[in-house]
Structure 1
């Protein structure tokens, strides 16, 4: 079940690169991008990525979106992201079916309402939702018509209908209500059947929900602070999950896990710059 035994302080943003057949993930607090057997060190928080081509990632840092060369480790800034706001950093993010990249921000100390959710699409960065305290669960239905997201402290995963270019067309609506439970929604991903798989912080699990929001089942992991899932592997039926060691001292906290499932994940979408 342990895919990589590196203990991340705040493991996040797993991305299965479909052309390289390779998993990338981040340690936000460690300022690192990881892949198995290797990491790249940054000078600030990095949290999420999308793939542009075989050798290029779009990476979100605390202050900008960057074009990152996997082969050389070099990166150049594409556009600023709350560059003048020293309170915030990037957090959860994912590419959408139309080739856009959604990225959330939050306060470095989780300051209430300090963050927002943005979309970068063909060179334009536009704010979609604010205020947000802890942006998470950004993911998309396979038909490209629905996006999901959460502000973790609300314990509510929202859905919003998208237009043909991937921009929200209406107000967001409640999709999954976890209020009154011990489940705090963190990162999420949607499979090919439209089921949403959500890592739940503090609950040591990734839980699945049908398109109507009803609970399906959960996969348990040996780390309390499960943070974000991703589907990958040759058949896209491996469920990866990052976790966070911050504040904990268990032997498997902060490690990255993998379990074979009977689910097929969507291929991660290419970001169009």
Structure 2
């Protein structure tokens, strides 16, 4: 029997994002970063000082990865960009898809090898319009095609397994990888079958190999054992939970982005915390995200 936990956490940011996504933690600066994709915003929260900043963006963006103390890799609708932290300026790095395809970036994460997995999708979430790419030192390899809403990208602690989902289909998939490169070495199989309760959104994999998945529409984060068993559900005080992230100096806390995209006026009136960033209020055995290697 799975454990069910009521929300015991706190609000980290009450700046409501239409589509909060892509949370990540930079341990070197004790800073949480996340996006409001549709609002073209990059959010920054320094945990030590409590200082918050919202950086307007010239494009839709969804994933941030540390490169070094001065630079970040940002996944955008115009491809991958390098962001200078001090100035906020962008330099083009890699084009994932031609602009005429009308796609944008969505979920992504860095493998222990320093390579990025990044998903794309149609601006109107057209069926099968997106893909998942492996990007290593600027070299782009398409590894999954015909995907509508790529999500749940994360990796086992040993780097030998990758996970992803097409939220529209609902199965969380497991893919065997070369642990040294993050490239697939076999075929994908179903790790968690689709369920009736919401859709699988973003995921992270902890140091024990358990996968934590935000459940869009169900107001929850689900925890799965390495064999795919559902072991726990943690409630979030809003319906559209979008992505979890480990944070804190020991990576022992969990942040969760949420959204109000697609909500009716009545839903927004009753779901007043939609789009907030939450601390789930539990202790986890998390991991710090690897840096992207140029």
1:182 matched to which residue of 2? 197
Residue 242 of structure 2 contacts residue 256 of structure 2 at CA under 8 Å; is this kept in 1?
Answer: yes
Residue 62 of structure 1 contacts residue 83 of structure 1 at CA under 8 Å; is this kept in 2?
Answer: no
Runs of 4+ in 1 over 3 A off after TM superposition: none
1:68 Cα deviation after fit: 0.7
Radius of gyration: which is bigger? 2
For residues 83 and 58 of structure 2, what CA distance do their matches in structure 1 show?
Answer: 14
Q: Which of 161, 164, 183 is 2:176 aligned to?
A: 161
Residue 236 of structure 2 contacts residue 280 of structure 2 at CA under 8 Å; is this kept in 1?
Answer: no
1:266 Cα deviation after fit: 1.1
The farther-off stretch of 108-117 and 31-40 is 31-40
1:84 Cα deviation after fit: 2.4
User: Could you give the per-residue CA deviations for residues 17-61 of structure 1, whole angstroms, max 9, x where no partner exists?
Assistant: 121111000000011111121121122210111111123210000
Unpaired runs of 5+ residues, structure 2, are 1-9, 46-51
Q: Secondary structure at the match of 2:168?
A: helix
Residue 14 of structure 1 contacts residue 228 of structure 1 at CA under 8 Å; is this kept in 2?
Answer: yes
Question: Which residues of 2 match residues 43-122 of structure 1 at below 5 A?
Answer: 43-122=58-137
Question: Which residues of 2 match residues 236-251 of structure 1 at below 5 A?
Answer: 236-248=251-263, 249=268, 250-251=271-272
1:147 Cα deviation after fit: 0.5
Q: Does 1:139 align with 2:154?
A: yes
Q: TM-score, normalised by structure 2?
A: 0.90
Q: TM-score, normalised by structure 1?
A: 0.97
2:34 matched to which residue of 1? 25
1:86 Cα deviation after fit: 4.3
For residues 172 and 49 of structure 1, what CA distance do their matches in structure 2 show?
Answer: 26
2:49 matched to which residue of 1? none
For residues 211 and 247 of structure 1, what CA distance do their matches in structure 2 show?
Answer: 33
Q: Does 1:259 align with 2:280?
A: yes
1:41 matched to which residue of 2? 56
Count residues with an aligned counterpart.
272
For residues 149 and 273 of structure 2, what CA distance do their matches in structure 1 show?
Answer: 24
